[in-house]
Amino acid sequence: MSQIAERSLHTRAARSVEALRSSFTDNLFYLTGRSFQKATTADFYTALAYTVRDRMLERFILTGENYKHNTARTVCYFSAEFLLGPHLGNNILNLGLRDNLDEALRGMGLDLETLLQQEQEPGLGNGGLGRLAACYLDSLATLEIPAIGYGIRYEFGLFDQVIKDGWQVEVTDAWLRDGNPWELPKRQRRYPVKLGGHTESWRDEQDRLRVRWVSDSTVYGVAYDTPILGYGVSNVNLLRLWKSEAHDSFDFQAFNLGDYYGAVEEMVAAENLTKVLYPNDDPEAGKELRLKQQYFFVSCSLQDMVRLTLRDLGSVSRFAEKFVAQLNDTHPAIAIPELMRLLVDEHALPWEAAWDITRQSFAYTNHTLLPEALETWPLELFRRILPRHLEIIEEINRRFLDEVRLRFFDDEARVARMSLISAGPEPRVRMAHLAAVGSFAINGVATLHTELLKSTVLCDFHALWPDKISNKTNGVTPRRFIALANPPLARLIEDTLDGDWLRNLESLRQLEPYADDAGFRARWREVKLSAKQALAASMAQATGIAVDPASLFDIQAKRFHEYKRQHLKVLHIISLYCRLKSVADLDIVPRTFIFGGKAAPGYQMAKLIIKLIHCVAEVVNRDPQVNQKMKVVFIPDFNVKNAQPIYPAADLSEQISTAGKEASGTGNMKFSMNGALTIGTLDGANVEIREAVGEENFFLFGLTAAQVQERLRDGYQPGRMIEGDPELRHALELIEAGFFSHGDPQLFAPLTRKLRGEDPYLVCADYRAYLDCQDTVDTCYRDIEQWTRMSVLNVARIGRFSSDRAIREYAEDIWRVQPVPVRG
């Protein structure tokens, strides 16, 4: 009998129906202080969460002991975002407790689904970046790879999205309002983080030149730990998030002197550091806060890793044996000079030895080709906040550029391009360059993205280090995005296949023959219809708009950005509306157009597109001439929890970004994994999804990345495209005339002016190809048997887009780490 199983016979970790019912009752009484009769639904959720957590903790402790005993090399995933989604359902699934819990709760007159809906979304991420980090933590634990996720415990998440008069309004995401039963505060893990001040040089007793950082202020990072349980294994890894605090929360002397604000001023300033995810960085104060946030969490994390290295291996010089740290984009890139500071200043290692350790410890994932998204910081801001780190970066840069000069003789233009600090009147620190120089490996997140990375953004670095950049296509966890999001589909797959497909998604290939089985296709359609009915009911409750579940559900749900081209989708809707108005009996497949997603608070154009969607929806949905054939719905507050019922309900997945702009995308994978067919460009992971599912099962349109660049180089003129296409011209003219804005011609003028004058994302250039492709979709959907066959094949061939595959590739090719199973 395993250690866990043996102990569980006599502890609160037992798994029988009776044991679960007993634990639930105890937790309800002793943790919420409520009797069963007086308890609220929120109390019942809390009791259930602790009941499930109890059954994780023995595994959690045993995993830590096992990793320590094995002195296993540990992956540290550094990310400013972890968009985890609700924990309860995921942990129930991974523990295999669903059936017993369901029975235990039913016996008490409670419904498990109702309690699952009570959980607050931990809004610790903006979109794909944070959700990818969460998927990777799930896969690391499932694959039994020792790992720690390091990030920030934001008191307030991104924001809750409320729609008022068609406009996005941001509301505070107080996700911690009712507490968080999944986290374990570790107050003994408390590290100082310096900010501001100046540096002083001095010589130690061995006459070595040393540098001391004399800071203006110091905040402290306190650890909050969340266990991350693997599926079907006993391994439980760690997500450690840092909360900022002052050294002293209360100045008693100031209070006694009547300075009541001054008594808590230090505490307020310190706690503001981790108050909110992604403060608006338009004002200077916002930029300063973001830089402080990024430094704060990597400093705490690296101090923690140094402590563990000393504990387990006895010498900081063995840091790279103990840890490999993956930088999830450039947000944590300040970790490179911070580790150098710790090694050189705090532990007195020579520069060369410290640099070798640093470059063996970090790997960097690039997530964007957009110049505005490649993070840079004004030199003066850096000097004011992190004076010692700027000195270290300048020294790294000096040594690196000497290497470039030797490799590329007499090419000062290349030297300037590769410098970690840009030249000019306002020099800036280039964080992507810092990450590239300080890491032993760089990876892109889709084949096309990686090739573009080599040929554009990091071309000079690729020329210097041709073997350093590799591809690791993103993946998503099927546990959350099939098993949790789509239980009917999971049951159908379970009934059909042999083996544990949730741990080996490639085994979905066994579904291929069933695509030709009429009986199986009928069951497949029943699953899809049930998902559409559930989403239709949810949308009616949230928006008041009733839709027909039998219509084609055409869905675009993702972060709002012009390059993702939600406005191209809107132009298609307007053009289809015009066709129906012109030909009343036009034969089209009835469609429900569904949008979801948030715009960054300061991104006015993205917010204007959201407003346009609502205005078009208002016209379409109240027009009796067309609203039996088309409806438009915007689902507010798109997040992990709200997304889970969206992916299973989609017939058509809109992945229509401008080719060459989307690094990978993961929504495309989640939709396809649930049987949606994709309409899309050859952008990001669309390229690989199309190759995997088959060209005949993917609706392709639009310019390629090379053609986009060629158009822009040749002097793209969107006006010519508009004048040459009557439908496009008519759609824009309707918007400009105020048809969708109660006669106000100015409301959407910024959007239409940009499309006519600049159109940087080539909406007008791809418009006709997109409409023609949508006509093909209409034709294909009429043959429902063939459509179902295509849907089945999308799921059968999507296995390689599991995050398990991605993590295996990272582990084998970059991290060089091995699984360490925990026997339990």
Q: Which residues are catalytic?
A: 367, 558-559, 564, 666, 670
Residue 607, both tokens = 């917010």
Query: What 3-state DSSP class applies to 17?
Result: helix
Residue with tokens 């994978």: 669
Only one residue has tokens 């800071």, namely 215
Give φ, ψ of 47 to 5 degrees.
-60, -40
Q: 500-524 as b/e, with b when 16 or more CB fall inside 10 Å? A: ebbbebebbeebeebbeeeebbebb
Burial 428-465 (b: 16+ CB within 10 A, else e): bbbbbbbbbbbbbbbbbbbbbbbebbbeebbebbbebb
Q: Token pair for residue 139?
A: 């896969």
Would strands 160-164 and 167-171 be described as parallel, antiparallel, or unpaired? antiparallel
| CA pair distance 39, 299, nearest whole angstrom | 43
The residue assigned the tokens 């390689």 is 800
Select from 402, 417, 396 the least CA-distant residue to 463: 417
What single-letter DSSP state applies at residue 105?
H
Strands (E), 483-590: 552-557
- Going by C-alpha positions, the residue among 121, 139, 237 that lies closest to residue 477 is 139
**Beta carbons of 136 and 806 less than 8 angstroms apart:** yes
**C-alpha torsion sign, points 396, 401, 404, 406:** negative
Task: Determine contact, residues 180/88, Cβ cutoff 8 Å.
Answer: no
**525: exposed, middle or buried (C-beta count within 10 Å: 0-12, 13-18, 19+)?**
middle
Q: What angle do CA 377, 383, 388 make, to 5 degrees?
A: 115
Spatial CA neighbour of 79 closest among 243, 325, 446: 325
What SS3 class is residue 315? Answer: coil
Q: Which residue is it, tokens 């940009």?
A: 754
Within 10 Å of residue 556's Cβ, how many Cβ atoms? 26
Residues 6+ apart with CB under 8 A from 341: 213, 388, 389, 392
Q: Which residues of 609-629 are buried (b: 16+ CB within 10 A; e: fewer)?
A: bbbbbbbbbebbbeeeebbeb
DSSP 483: I
Determine the Cα–Cα distance for residues 193 and 296; give it in Å rounded to an integer.
Answer: 6
In DSSP notation, 289-312 reads HHHHHHHHHHHHHHHHHHHHHHHH
Q: How far apart are CA 340 and CA 72, in angstroms?
A: 23
Look up residue 205 and give its DSSP letter.
T
147-152 and 74-78 strand pairing: parallel
Task: Choose among 289, 472, 284: nearest CA to 366.
Answer: 472
Sole residue written with tokens 């990686």: 450
Radius of gyration of the chain (CA): 28
Taking the C-alpha atoms of residue 520 and residue 792, their distance in angstroms, rounded to an integer, is 10
Single-letter residue type at 580: L
Structure tokens at 198: 């100046």
